[in-house]
Amino acid sequence: MKRYNLSFFMAVLFFLPMEAKSGSATTDYSDVRIQDLKLGTQAWNFRKFSFYETLDMLQELDLHYLEAYPGQVLGKNNPDVRFSHNLSDKEMAKIKKALEEHDIKLLCYGVVGFDNNEESMKVVFEFAKKMGIRTIVTEPKYDDFSIIEKMVKKYNIQVAIHNHPYPSKYAYPQTVLDHIRGLDERIGACADIGHWMRTGLNVVESLRLLEGRILDVHFEDLDEIGSKKANTVPFGQGEANIHDALAELTRQNYFGMLAIELEQGEIVKDPVPTIRDGKVYVDNITHYKDWDEILVQSDNGRFNKHGWNHYGPGFFELDHKTGVLKSKLGMGLFWYAKKMVSDFTLDLEFMVDQERSNSGVFLRIPGVPFDNYYVGHSFEVQIYHPGDGIHRTGAIYDAEPPITDATKGAGEWNHYSITFRGDKIIVYLNGVKVMDWQAEPRGKITDFVDEGYIGLQNHDWETAVYYRNIFLKELN
């Protein structure tokens, strides 16, 4: 009991300054559209089963991401062979084949220990390289991470520092930050939210503190905070505040996996029901479930323009870290060339740097834009705050005015949800319906096609328009 009181008291003292500085107490996540994060599992949940049995159960659960740990029996018919970084090339080949057959990606490995020397680390890093593992999870006993950093740079494999409950070394996220500050960004945190709760910490505030340095998440919900005897419960039924945790990770553009973790002994005798219930909850609060993110974030967390083309002279500059597009150098079109679409919903956020900034979202561009022909043969959902009627934000440019004004001002992010089904265009701006129109040739639009490209317009030299979080869902 004394240990619990001490840890909880330390947590309160620890987080008060951060909350005062960041204003975290007033953060509202209700409007955050939670993205479809990489939900998977720690193989530790299946420690009563073999590795190959684990793959079968993950397939049953429709989970496609796995974090392995050293020590799990590889196959039930050969209990002496265990999963580890000392496996033979033959065993590794069998594992890779089984992963492929089950459509499962082995993203992480840990928690694994190694001495503070290259010889010890090399064995683990070589294993990770051969297996295609992206992140090694560890809990170093030493404070000098210089050799870890050297190996990270050599192998281009991430290292995530894991936390156990207080009084373990990395129980508090600030301790992890202190150890990784100034090091390569591929050295970060494995945020074990269940152990944070056992220590008495607020999950969302801890995630916020580690923003930009989270490489892996061990994902668990408990029925109470501040007790090592807390029970594991399905997501959403405990005190972790899973919704806001996922919203915060979405806000951070988190690109790692969510490794479901079950610590309680009874549950692991049959972990499938608890994991299934938790997955249903996560799926239900995920806004972008089964959507395509068309401004792509790579496995290394950096955004890229793959699948997009520019028609100039103007173009969009991409911040590879934040995924924000910024218009540059006047008139142009940034169009999604990967596919033509017919019936769809397009979700995106935009921001103007000045009230007079001008842009638009083009729908069903009839072909590859070599000139301005597309302007009269596709529809533009307008972005121009000071305009009137058919030239104002929310309008179908030169054709149909918005029902109402729902814009936010310069410097604020706006959200468009645009549905084009058949000849019907429906537009929501910041949650307000501003367009419900039966499309027809009108104004500058002489005709339109049943299928085409999507494009983002940049208009002038003096002002800028920004876009981010671009998602597409094709409709049947």
Could you read off the pLDDT tens digit of each residue along the chain, which spans 476 residues?
333 333 333 343 343 333 322 334 457 899 999 999 999 999 999 999 999 999 999 999 999 999 999 999 999 998 999 999 999 999 999 999 999 999 999 999 999 999 999 999 999 999 999 999 999 999 999 999 999 999 999 999 999 999 999 999 999 999 999 999 999 999 999 999 999 999 999 999 999 999 999 999 999 999 999 999 999 999 999 999 999 999 999 999 999 999 999 988 788 999 999 999 999 999 999 999 999 999 988 888 899 999 999 999 999 999 999 999 999 999 999 999 999 999 999 999 999 999 999 999 999 999 999 999 999 999 999 999 999 999 999 999 999 999 999 999 999 999 999 999 999 999 999 999 999 999 999 999 999 999 999 999 999 899 999 999 999 999 98
C-alpha distances out from residue 126 to 87, 109, 137, 394, 420, Å: 11, 12, 15, 54, 50
CATH T-level topology, domain 308-474:
Jelly Rolls (2.60.120)
Kindly report whether the global pTM for this prediction surpasses the value 0.85. yes
Domain with CATH 2.60.120.560 in the chain: 308-474
Q: What is the dihedral of CA 438, 443, 446, 452, to 10 degrees?
A: -60
- Rounded CA gap, 83 and 69, in Å? 7
Residue 415 pairs with which residues in a beta bridge?
A: 349
Q: CATH assignment of 2-290?
A: 3.20.20.150
C-alpha distances out from residue 286 to 7, 17, 36, 280, 368, Å: 33, 32, 6, 10, 34
- Rounded CA gap, 200 and 209, in Å? 15
Q: Which tokens sit at 196?
A: 């944070």
Could you identify the residue written with the tokens 């769809």? 344
Domain with CATH 3.20.20.150 in the chain: 2-290
